[in-house]
Amino acid sequence: MDSEILDYYLPPEAIAQFPHKKRDEAKLLVVDRKTQEQSDMLFKDLPDILSGRNYSIFRNDASVLKARIYARRPSGAEVECLLLSPVDGAFRWTCMLRPGRRLKVGASFGVDGVFQAIVESRDDDGRAVVKFDTAGGMSVVELSQRIGVPPLPPYIKRQQNSPDYDRSLDNEYYETVYADPSKRVAAAAPTAGMHFTDSLDAELEKRGHRFFDITLHVGIGTFQPLKGKTIEEHKMHSEVYEIPPETRAEFEGGSNPRLAVGTTSIRALEDYRRKRLADGNKPVDLSVPYLGEANLFIYPPQEIGCADALITNFHLPKSTLLCLVASFLKPGSQDGIAWLKEIYARALKDGYKFFSYGDAMLIL
């Protein structure tokens, strides 16, 4: 399929620049796959929408690494360092650097009294391996918590290196309320879950729904558009995930319908499901966690069998996430892309906000 089929017009004013002050008052577009009916609701209506069935709700509890660090070269020139993933131990990391062309192998940068870093190697795709020397031997994760800022995507316009930048706002809202602070492994927030609140979670549990956590290390590749002329030739990035024993047991043996929160949950669960199918669903020890790595690219006409319902945000044009959502809308068919674009056009007309801080969609 031509990748241009995933393009659509999005006016800049439809891109949410700030979060909803009350997370669960975001708009929620409810789409019924069987009837094709669409309903305008609020996210806080979720307990009523799901009434009549008890769902097992699977969500990604990864916490966002404060991955964007601003520093200076010895010359005084500014450097932006985006942490991606550790290479080994606590002090060597794969990073994206700006200005990349000037930071060749051997170049150094840092913040006086906090850390110094040196570029050890560079890849053709612009990634660099950087070794950090930190004050007091703190880890790079601890360093990022001290001086870093959330890695907001480029469509959220912030001057994050400005003295006037309100770091506290994005620290609070570019994160789910259920994120595990011991799992700072996400280079981007699992944004579909940002609409949940503690009180909403409690109400859902009161009505018989149950939550199950997984941890997927969301990579920067989540923002990368399709690069080839066709959808099929796109090379998907890889992300590590972990499924705890309780979640594995529910996924394999539970009887309730499954609701996946976000495309990151779908990627982990569907990768796990397909690998289990490939090994013939042989008996396994469900009392231990499962550690996997997903480079799964889900696009029409593939079928997604890991979930019965999906909560997701409104995604970028020509993105792999559009492919995934279209596959969920119309399993086994290429028609999901056209239908998804119709849904998006309707959402734009009705004032829904798009992308990370925007509104949500529930597909039943």
Residue 356 gets which letter from DSSP? T
- Give the per-residue SS3 of 92-160: EEEEEEECHHHCCCCCEEEECCCEEEEEEEECCCCEEEEEEEEHHHCCHHHHHHHHCECCCCCCCCCCC
Nearest Cα to 347, choosing from 335, 334, 362, 333? 362
pLDDT of amino acid 89? 76
* Domain boundary pick from 148, 167, 189: 148
Which residues pair with residue 60 across a beta bridge? 214
CATH number at residue 213: 3.40.1780.10
Same domain, 52 and 185: yes
Tell me: the pLDDT tens digits for 72-126? Answer: 999 999 999 999 989 987 899 999 999 988 899 999 999 999 999 999 999 877 8
Same domain, 52 and 197: yes
In a domain, 168, yes or no: no
- Please give the distance of CA 226 from its chain centroid, rounded to a whole number: 17
CATH number at residue 129: 2.40.10.240
CA angle in degrees (0–180, nearest 5) for 302-295-319: 65
In a domain, 193, yes or no: yes
Phi, psi of 145, deg, nearest 5: -65, -30
C-alpha dihedral sign at 336, 339, 345, 349: negative
In a domain, 217, yes or no: yes
In a domain, 159, yes or no: no
Same domain, 101 and 15: no
Of 90-99, 307-316, 321-330, 336-345, which gets the smallest average pLDDT?
90-99
Nearest Cα to 340, choosing from 59, 29, 50? 29
Same domain, 298 and 282: yes
Of 152-166, 177-191, 213-227, 267-281, which gets the smallest average pLDDT?
213-227
In a domain, 133, yes or no: yes
In a domain, 154, yes or no: no
Q: Are 292 and 244 contacting, i.e. CB atoms less than 8 angstroms apart?
A: no
Percent of the chain residues topping a pLDDT of 70: 99
Same domain, 250 and 322: yes
pLDDT of amino acid 223? 64
Same domain, 82 and 184: no
Query: At residue 44, does pLDDT exceed 90?
Result: yes
Most confident of 36-40, 123-127, 237-241: 36-40
Report the distance separating Cα 246 and Cα 56, nearest Å.
Answer: 12
Same domain, 58 and 91: no
pLDDT of amino acid 237? 81
* Domain boundary pick from 97, 129, 148: 148
Average pLDDT of the chain to the nearest whole number: 95
Nearest Cα to 29, choosing from 293, 356, 357, 346? 346
Q: Are 324 and 298 contacting, i.e. CB atoms less than 8 angstroms apart?
A: yes
List, in order, residues 6 or more apart from 40 with CB less than 8 Å away.
27, 28, 29, 30, 350
Question: In the sheet where 210-216 sits, what is the strand order?
Answer: 38-42, 27-31, 360-363, 309-313, 258-261, 56-60, 210-216, 239-243, 290-294
Instruction: Sort residue 310 into left (φ over 0), alpha (ψ -120 to 50) or beta.
Output: beta
Number of structural domains the chain divides into: 2
Same domain, 236 and 115: no
Same domain, 76 and 24: no
Helix (H) or strand (E) holding 168: helix 167-173
Same domain, 51 and 78: no
Tell me: the pLDDT tens digits for 244-287? Answer: 999 999 999 999 999 999 999 999 999 999 999 999 999 999 99
Parallel/antiparallel/unpaired status of strands 360-363 and 27-31:
parallel
In a domain, 167, yes or no: no
Give residue 86's domain range: 68-148
Report the distance separating Cα 46 and Cα 50, nearest Å.
Answer: 6
Same domain, 286 and 359: yes
Helix (H) or strand (E) holding 310: strand 309-313
Which residues pair with residue 119 across a beta bridge? 130
Which two structure tokens, joined as six digits, stand for 299? 């696009």
Encode 236-247: b = buried (16+ Cβ within 10 Å), e = exposed.
Answer: beebebbbbeeb
pLDDT of amino acid 259? 98
Of 145-154, 227-236, 286-295, which gets the smallest average pLDDT?
227-236
Residue with tokens 């990768």: 271
In a domain, 321, yes or no: yes
* Domain boundary pick from 110, 131, 148: 148
Same domain, 324 and 186: yes
